[in-house]
Each structure stands twice: as structure tokens, then as C-alpha cells.
Structure 1
Amino acid sequence: MVKHKLSMLVAIVFTACLMLSACSVGSKSDTRVTPSTSSETNSLDGEDAVIPAGLERYYQQKVSWAPCQESDLKDYQCARVKVPLDYSDTQKEDIELALARSRASGKCLGSLLINPGGPGGSGVDLIKNSEEMFSEQVFSTFDVVGFDPRGVSRSHPIECTTDAQKDESLAESLDLGTAAGRERSIADMKEFAQRCQEKNGDFARYLDTVSVARDLDILRAVLGDKKLSYLGYSYGSFLGTTYAQLFPKNVGRLVLDGVLDGSYSYGEVSMAQAKGFEAAFGNFAAWCAREGKDCPWDTTAAGMKRLQRFFKAADASPIPTKDSARPLNGALAFGAAVGMLYYETLYPSLLEGLQEALKGDGAPLLKISDLFNQRGVDGKFENNALDAFIAINGADYPVEGTQKEWDQRGQKLVRDFPLMGSSMAYGEYALAAWPWESTAKREKVKIVGVQPILLVGNTNDPATPYEMAQSVHRQIPNSRLVTWKSYSHTAYGLGSDCVQETVDKYLVGGVLPDSDVTCDD
């Protein structure tokens, strides 16, 4: 198979999922959180946090809230907060972060900051969907605050490509099993980086997660909280562990859902995700053979082979859509399918799209691809998530290993994972072409003196495999791990009462379970 631009399919699927009628998530429940006699509780009280030297004007700024101007945010309040572009030199320019909040309806404990992941996901956009996910008691207890991290959406967005260039990149298919394919991938990255520099200067070098975590502490302070309460999904979990390492004494109640292990190298993440999504394709194929109406195959193995043939055929002969200029090729079909694998509730819609494509109509799968990439019917992309995803990963992942090691890993990926391997292989070549060298350190979490943290992981999460949640759990001795037996990505707010109740008790009451929890509902 050829490689498709999976690297461009950012993990904003979490937010996009909520826009699909087929995606059933947990409704805003009225789970009653009762007091516990457990001594294992997280307090939000304490001494005033120490302000880092030289950052007083940021930590002590006043926040001016006003009704949001965007029509779909009219029920919320919005504000902007200044942070330094460069924490090593605060004499450089400031940038502003966009915030949106839902005021607590009852006695307020403080703010709950939320991040949907990505990287490149908008917390301001997430808050629009949060009422369908979080319990009424969470909204009663906290000012729920979504924020766009630096470089993302409304917060000094990094803009590298035009809408037409995004379309071209998303539809590009490359055979990375060949030298020519790898060279094209490297050239693509160099071209993308050049566009970033022409439009943004060296801004990309300041998008690392350590800087975002330092921004997060400023947000905590200006919101008036002594301790940070935070819910981070997917990449947002890595932001959470980074924050806890930098500011252990400021940690209040941290929920990290869909855990990304920050010690994994770029290649190790690719290997883990290839394994996870290959298994998810297998789960979809098995579901279809078992339950799907008019399934195109009758066994799991037959389904996996049929899918491979379908993507290859779509590359050779793109399938017509309603837009004659945008037929459905293998890259777009593959991206749509991978997006639908994030949540088992989307399997029926994926099957319907495949069935229509096999009949010669590529429009349904193209619509799905556009939804996950947040492309409107007018051809305009809603935000800069695609550009931010690449730039932030470039800032976070240093180039590691030798070309020989990259080749060995790439060959193994292609060999072991027939559907996913070629879409995840040889990514280090493109990463090495990123001009702003990452200074990040990929290492095990080292958190000392922090209040207990609640981790949430799915046994068959394709995007942040369960092994990562288990690994981070071992790295944080006083953490608890909530396990959901599911093939979906992330868990809180997506239908499990067990997960919902456990997380709500922790957020609202500061109560940790006595031991790790397994949910199979």
C-alpha cells in the first residue's frame, strides 16, 4: 500500500465526533456525587503559589470577561490573557491566549481548564460541546474554561498553508517503501516549513509543550486558583504531566484521559499507533461480518484484505463525488476510515460510506474526511489545526536514532501492519527535515510532591494505546488508573457511567478510588 497523509489527520476527531449524528456520547448526566470518608482526597486549598521571577506582570494581570462575539459561543463569556512569547527572554513580544468559560451554576470551587488534545485542538471549541459530556455537578461546581493553546485557532494561530494547499496535501498519496516516496515526503516537509517561516518567522520554535504548560500556570493564577483543576484528553494528557513536572505544588485535581506517554520517541509513537489502528481495523472488520447490514465480507480476515484492495483501487481510479474537482482517492478514503475508527459508535456510518463508495459514490466518505479535517462545504478550513499539529510536534519531538534504525522500523511497520504500516512508516525522515531543532527531552515522568492524579485509559484505544496509560501509571506512583474496556479513543463523557461517576467524584469531591477501577459498561 502507499502511504497516505495520516500525519495530517490530526486527533481533533474527539471534537469532530460530536458533530456526527451517529456518534452517541454520554449525555449530561445527573450523577450525584456523595461524600466519602476516604482519606485520599485532593485539596484545592493551600498557600499562594510562588510567582516565577520576572513574570509578575503576567501572573498579576486582570482578566476582563465579556460576552463572546461568535454566534455559537453566545452563551459563554470570553477573555484574552497575555503570556510571553519566549520564557527565556520576556523582553520579546507578548502573545494573547483566547479563553471561553461557562460560569458555575452553584457554589464555585474554582476553574476547571479543559484541553481536547491534538496537538492543535481548540479548548474554546471544546467548551461548546462540553455540556453533552460533563455532568451537571461539574458545571455546578466549576467555572469550566476552555482555552486555545499558543499557536492554535484564536491564540496567535500559526498559519502555514492556504486552503488549496491543505486540500492538495490531504489528497497526496506517497509510496514510502520507495526512495522516491521518501524524498517526496522530505521535500513536502521542507516546503511546509518554508511557508511557515515566510508567514510566521521563527514563531514555530516557541510552540513546545513546556511553554504551553507555563502558559497554563499563568492561566491558573489569573483565574484566581491556588491549585490547578484540569481535564486533558489525548495530547492534553501530555500537557498535564508536563505541567505536573514543572509545577508539582500547584497541582489540584488533574484528570488525564487517553494518556500519551511523553517518554516515547516519534518512532515509538508511530509503532504503537500503527499497532492500535491495525487492531481497530480488525475490530471494525469483525463487527461488520458479525453485525453489519449487507457487509461486503463475511470474515475478519476477508474484511482486512477487502479494505486493502479498496484503498489501493481508489488510488488507481478515484471514485466520483458531488464535486467533480475532488474525487475520492485512496488518501481521502483512508483518512476518513481512520477517523471513524476513533469511536466504535461510528462504525455503522463508516460501513455506509464504504458501501456507497463500492457502488461508485465517494461523496459520503469525502464528507467524513472533510468533517474530521474541519473543512467546510465552501472549501475553507475552520481553523489552523492541521498546520498547528505539524508545528507543535516539530517542537516537541527531537530527531532520534540513525537512518538505519529508521529504515529497520519502517520495514517492520510495513511488514507487520498491512493496512496501517505504510501510513506510519519512515516518519523520522520528514521530522529530520523540520528546520527548528527541538530541544525537548523525551523521558520518563518525574513528579515529586504532587497530589494524586487520575488517569483514564481504554484497553483498545487506537490513538493512545493502553500501554501508554499503564506506563504513565507506573511512572506516577500515587496515581489511579481508570480502565474502560473499549476500542474508542478517550472515555470521559462518551457513554460509560462507571467512568463518568469515578471521574466526577474526583473532580467534584476530590475523592480518589481506593484502588484502580475497571469499567466494562
Structure 2
Amino acid sequence: MATSRLFRTTSAAVAAAALLISGCSSGSSPSGTEASPERTGPGPGRAAPSASPALGPLPTATPANLRPYYDQKLTWRDCGVAGFQCATLKVPLDYAEPSADTDLELAVARKKATGPGTRIGSLMVNPGGPGGSAIDYLQQYAPQPAQVRARYDMVAVDPRGVARSEPVRCLSNKRMDKYTQTDQTPDDSAEVDKLTTAYRDFAKGCESRSGKVLPHVSTIESARDMDVLREVLGDKKLSYMGASYGTFLGATYAGLFPSRSGRLVLDGAMNPELDSRTINLNQTAGFNTAFTAFAADCIKRKDCPLGTKSTDDAGKRLSAFFQQLDARPLPTGEARRLTESLATTGVIAAMYDEQAWPILREYLAQAKDGNGRGLLTLSDTYYERDPDGSYANQMFANPAVNCLDLPPAFTSPDEVRAALPSFRKASPVFGDNFAWAALNCAYWPVKATGKAHRIEAEGAAPIVVVGTTRDPATPYEWAKALAAQFSGATLLTYDGDGHTAYGRGSDCIDTAINTYLLEGTTPPKNKRCT
């Protein structure tokens, strides 16, 4: 069972597939920062522009009580991965009341510029999530692209609460197994009670195991951590590549520190103006678009496990398959059986990258023959469950950030029931699942500190916002909306399938972004790539 909306980049096939179904991060307010006066100018994709205040910048002068953090020196050591160095960055748990007694230690990694050419500076990267390890991402993908790596020190910091940086923990591996199998499309009041109990137990586990850090893992605080790292690295301005949720993190940085923002690429952009419910509804429609594209490709093939009649018929067949699993889970060759919730998660995982479509067809065919192993594998990949049964921290960090950044999409089962028609309209296949999953933050032990807002980043250097037309997790309208909010930004469009665009096979996209990072030249206005 998915627990909260999770965004991040994908690699070939599903190796890095991710979405956790429910309230995705979109905004929070920094302690001691006043929002700038509201403006109501039009912008594509905006739900209610007149209701969205703008995120105000922090003072340009660093407060004296934060100076020790900005003045610290990093001690670099060999990471044990060829060519990478690691260090530990100290940041305050609470920026409003910094104290050495409660400091957090964040893991940092870098791969120094290799040349040829003059070193430009550091390029910080974040793959999204929230909850994705930036260090893992850096170490896996830093060898590419070579021309960027030659001129920049490639740098990553695992955000607070994530991976190596004071990780949030919630459930044991066995309890997490049980949690992921909870029925997320309840048919009656008893099943609703089981689902809400699962959400409550998850939240209690996070509070008992990670109570210290839980109130301080907001996107605002992580953006402030990035500014500390920027100065410690010796960069006057931040150069940054963020994907998916990483776009919201980068946009937040630009809103807080516009004068320190350099070359920022935001790929698979989020729209910080939207509230949790709108975000979830938009994504429901986004995954329906992605499934329709998959189904259109599938039905052209004689061996399509969803038939060859039409995309609507394929959707009905998939829904019927899920209903069958609700009553009779499939064997998988191990103690866990393929439940409806696990199968749904497996299918959703494959929507992130069209290169995963052949794998999904194969595993759906296996399931049709009574073998649920393949779809369980997809679900495990999505949840970052290792073969030994252990889970990565991502599934815990994700709701911790999301539920702090925005008030919950729903506060009761009755609110979910009232919204089901709109979610079903957005996606007949996934609507119920997405709607009920959006209830999880209602039981979170820490009250949200953020709210929806615009990010204008007045005074920032030109920013490149990238959107994919059939992106399931971050719909294209979000990229259009974010680009419209910034006082200076260029929208770069990828006409294609899958989540994010850079490094996924489009020479047009890659060339435009590499040119911007290396030369500072933004793409032409309204540039579209395939």
C-alpha cells in the first residue's frame, strides 16, 4: 500500500520508479519570514491564484547565531566509491533557535571536476522524493554527462531525515510488509477502520522512533541547509539540478535566496500553489493519462494481456483484475501473496518510464496465468524493499516531509467518500486508490507548518523549468504554472511519455540543458523537444 505521494526521477525501466500515493509536498513557510504582498496575475495551471500568497525571501545578511554553521570547514574523506569524497555538514535542528546541543549532521558527497575546461563551481543535485537519497543518485549518475562533470564539482547532500542524514524511521520490516498489504480501496466500514488504523499505527511509529527530527524536516528547512552547504563549498551562487520533488526544493531555495540563485534546472516541475487535494487529483489524472498511453501501445500487440479491443476496455480489464485480487490474492513463490494493493503499486511503478512497459506486459501476463511474482517485484522496487526484506528509509521520510509541508488532503473518511466521484472521473482505474491514500496525513502526529503559495524569486538569475507533456507524476500543467510564477524563467517542453526529461534519450532536451549549465544561455522561448 502506498502511503503518501512520492516523486523522483526514473532510470531505465523501473529501477528508480517512485510515487507514493497521497499528499505531496508543495510548500511551507520559513520561521520568521513574511510573505510578500499578494499579486493576482494570471498563470496557466493555477488553481486559485488569488488565494496564494508569495513566498518571501529571507534577509540577505546571515544572522550572527547562524554564522558558525556558514563558517564551518568540511573534512573530506574517501567514500569507498571510486572518485567520490564524503563529509558531514552540521546544521541547526531549528533555525529559529539554533543550538549545538541539537545540531543535525547531514551527509554530503562530491565528485570533483575532471576537466578539461575551467571549473565553473559546484553543481548540487537532488533526485526528488521527498526521501530519495541525493548521494545514491550522485554516485549512480555522476559519470554523465561528461561535459558537465568536467566543469563542475558534482555535489549531493541527503536532506535532513533522509538516508544517511538523521533518517526518519517508523516501522520494523515485518510491520512494513503488513502495512504495504493493507487494502487501500475499502469496500465497507470495517475495511475503512482497518485502513485508518494502519495510518494511525504508521504515524505513531514515526513519532516514537523519530520524534526529535519529525517537526523539522520541511522543505523550507532543507532549502536553508542547501544555502549553508553552498557557502561552505565556497560558491557565491547555487547551481542546481533538481528533478520531480527536487524542483520544489530548488524553487523554494530560489524563493528564499533569490540573490544567491545561479543556474537552476527544475525538471518534472511541481506547482507550489496547489493544495494537497488538488495535487492528488491532478496526479490521479496524470497517471490515467500514462496508463492510457501504455494501453494504447499494448492493444496493438496480439499478446497484450489486457486485450486488443480499446484503451477503455483495457482499463476495465485491469480494474476487474484488481477486484479479483481483492478477493483472492495470487501466490508469488514466497510467504507474501500478491494483494490488490501490491499489484496496484506495481502497475503504478511501471507508469514512470515507458521503457518499463514491456516488463509490465510480461508481468501482467504472468499474473493472468496465476503467478504474482513479477508484479510483486515491481512493487518491491517501488517501495525500495530489498530481497532480504529490509526497507530503505525513503518510505518513512516521504510522508514525514509531505505531511509537514501541507495540511492534509482529507481529514476524515467521510471527506474521502465525498470526493470519490471526482477521483473516479479523473481515473476509473486508480481513482479510489489515490483518494483513500490521500487520507494518510490526517493522522500525522505533527501539525503541518506549511501552506500552498506562489514562488516568484524576484531578482534570481534566469531559471530553466522542464515539463514532459505526458508525465504521470508531475503533470505538464505544473511546469507551465511554475515557469509563469517566476519573475524570470524559461519553460522547456519535452513532448513525450514518462517522468522527467533530462537524460532520458532526447538529444534536444539534453543539449538545451547542458548549454544552459555550461554557458548560462537559456533555451529559446517556448522551445519544444521530442
Superposition TM-score, scaled by structure 1 size = 0.88
**2 CA distance for matches of 1:80 and 1:489?**
31
Indicate the SS of the match to 1:486: strand
Which residue is equivalent to 1:10?
Answer: 6
Which residue among 45, 52, 72 is the counterpart of 1:61? 72
Matched, 1:122 2:130: no
The one-letter code sitting in structure 2 at the alignment partner of 1:395 is: L
The one-letter code sitting in structure 1 at the alignment partner of 2:253 is: Y
Which residue is equivalent to 2:48?
Answer: none
Indicate the SS of the match to 2:65: coil
Which residue among 75, 79, 82 is the counterpart of 2:83? 75
Which residue is equivalent to 2:112?
Answer: 103
Matches within 5 A, 1:19-98: 19=15, 50-69=61-80, 73-91=81-99, 92-98=101-107
Which of 392-401 and 309-318 deviates more? 392-401
CA offsets 1:80-133 (integer angstroms, 9 cap, x no match) = 11100111110251111111211111131111000010110000110122146x
Indicate the SS of the match to 1:515: coil
Which residue is equivalent to 1:361?
Answer: 371
Asked if the contact 2:306/2:318 (under 8 Å) is kept, the reply is no
Indicate the SS of the match to 2:246: helix
The one-letter code sitting in structure 2 at the alignment partner of 1:417 is: S
Matched, 1:276 2:286: yes
Matched, 1:246 2:256: yes
The one-letter code sitting in structure 1 at the alignment partner of 2:93 is: L
Which residue is equivalent to 2:404?
Answer: 395
Which residue among 188, 205, 215 is the counterpart of 2:198? 188
Indicate the SS of the match to 1:459: strand
Indicate the SS of the match to 2:479: helix
Q: Could you say if the C-alpha distance between residues 13 and 143 of structure 1 is closer, same or farther in structure 2, counting changes exceeding 3 Å? A: closer
Matched, 1:326 2:300: no
Q: Could you say if the C-alpha distance between residues 112 and 11 of structure 1 is closer, same or farther in structure 2, counting changes exceeding 3 Å? A: same
The one-letter code sitting in structure 1 at the alignment partner of 2:86 is: C
CA offsets 1:475-506 (integer angstroms, 9 cap, x no match) = 11420011101121001111110100000001
Asked if the contact 2:304/2:361 (under 8 Å) is kept, the reply is no
**1 CA distance for matches of 2:415 and 2:481?**
24
Indicate the SS of the match to 1:253: strand
Asked if the contact 1:16/1:371 (under 8 Å) is kept, the reply is no
Matched, 1:516 2:516: no
Indicate the SS of the match to 1:14: coil
Which residue among 300, 306, 313 is the counterpart of 2:317? 306
Q: Could you say if the C-alpha distance between residues 283 and 140 of structure 1 is closer, same or farther in structure 2, counting changes exceeding 3 Å? A: same
CA offsets 1:13-50 (integer angstroms, 9 cap, x no match) = 626857489xxxxxxxxxxxxxxxxxxxxxxxxxxx74
CA offsets 1:257-296 (integer angstroms, 9 cap, x no match) = 0001111111011100000101111111110012464544
**2 CA distance for matches of 1:449 and 1:224?**
21
Q: Could you say if the C-alpha distance between residues 8 and 315 of structure 1 is closer, same or farther in structure 2, counting changes exceeding 3 Å? A: farther
Which residue is equivalent to 1:492?
Answer: 502
Indicate the SS of the match to 2:129: coil
Indicate the SS of the match to 2:300: helix
Asked if the contact 1:277/1:338 (under 8 Å) is kept, the reply is yes
Which residue is equivalent to 2:25?
Answer: none
Asked if the contact 2:185/2:433 (under 8 Å) is kept, the reply is no
The one-letter code sitting in structure 2 at the alignment partner of 1:345 is: Q
RMSD of aligned Cα (Å) = 2.1
Asked if the contact 2:268/2:467 (under 8 Å) is kept, the reply is yes
Asked if the contact 2:409/2:439 (under 8 Å) is kept, the reply is no
Q: Could you say if the C-alpha distance between residues 176 and 294 of structure 1 is closer, same or farther in structure 2, counting changes exceeding 3 Å? A: closer
Which residue is equivalent to 2:233?
Answer: 223
1:345 shift after superposition: 1.1
Which residue among 456, 463, 466 is the counterpart of 2:466? 456
Q: Could you say if the C-alpha distance between residues 497 and 291 of structure 1 is closer, same or farther in structure 2, counting changes exceeding 3 Å? A: farther
**1 CA distance for matches of 2:361 and 2:147?**
37
Structure 1, unaligned stretches of length 5 or more? 22-48
Indicate the SS of the match to 2:248: helix
Asked if the contact 1:267/1:427 (under 8 Å) is kept, the reply is no
1:330 shift after superposition: 1.3
Q: Could you say if the C-alpha distance between residues 18 and 193 of structure 1 is closer, same or farther in structure 2, counting changes exceeding 3 Å? A: closer
